[in-house]
Structure 1
Amino acid sequence: MPLDYHHQVALLKDILSDHQTDCCGTIAECEQLERVIKSLMTNSNIDQNLKNILQQIYQYSQSGVNSSGLNQHIQSSQQNLTQWIHEIDTFS
């Protein structure tokens, strides 16, 4: 059973919050971010501003997957993580 919009956004926010709080994560989490974002981007009802945020998070997750130091990548992205979580809250 596929996740609906609200569950997808909650999953996205949960992973980002974990990265922000723990300052570490896994490749699998980054790949999960990518899958959720791809699914959300197909939703025609999503606000364009949220789509812009999703694109930024997608780039973050791709950089994480391709990074030789994922935890360092997450640590250097703390400000972005905080901003994205806040912005997602305004749309959900």
Structure 2
Amino acid sequence: MPLSHENQIFLLKDILQNHQSDCCGSVSECEQVERLVKSLMVNTDVNENVRVILEEIYRYSQDGINSSDLDAHINSHQTDLNHWVDDIGRFY
């Protein structure tokens, strides 16, 4: 059974919160973020304001996948992670 877009949003938010609080993550988490964002971007039920955030998160996940130092990448995006988690929380 596929996840609803709300469940996908909550999963995405959970992964971002983990990156925010743990200051580390894995390439597989970045790949999962990428898949979630792609799925959400084509879903017409997703709030338009969240779509702008999703584009930024997509770039973050791509850069994380290709980073030679993923933990440093995550640390350098702590402010962004804060904003994304807060912004998504306002809409869902």
TM-score w.r.t. length of structure 1: 0.97
Structure 1 runs, 4 residues or longer, greater than 3 Å off = none
Matched, 1:25 2:25: yes
Aligned residue runs from structure 1 range 1-92, under 5 A: 1-92=1-92
Aligned-partner Cα distance in 2 for 1:46–1:25: 26
Structure 2 alignment gaps of length 5 or more? none
Structure 1 alignment gaps of length 5 or more? none
CA RMSD of the aligned region, Å?
0.7
1:35 alignment partner AA: R
Give aligned pairs, total. 92
Aligned-partner Cα distance in 2 for 1:47–1:13: 15
- Counting aligned pairs with the same residue, the percent is 52
TM-score w.r.t. length of structure 2: 0.97
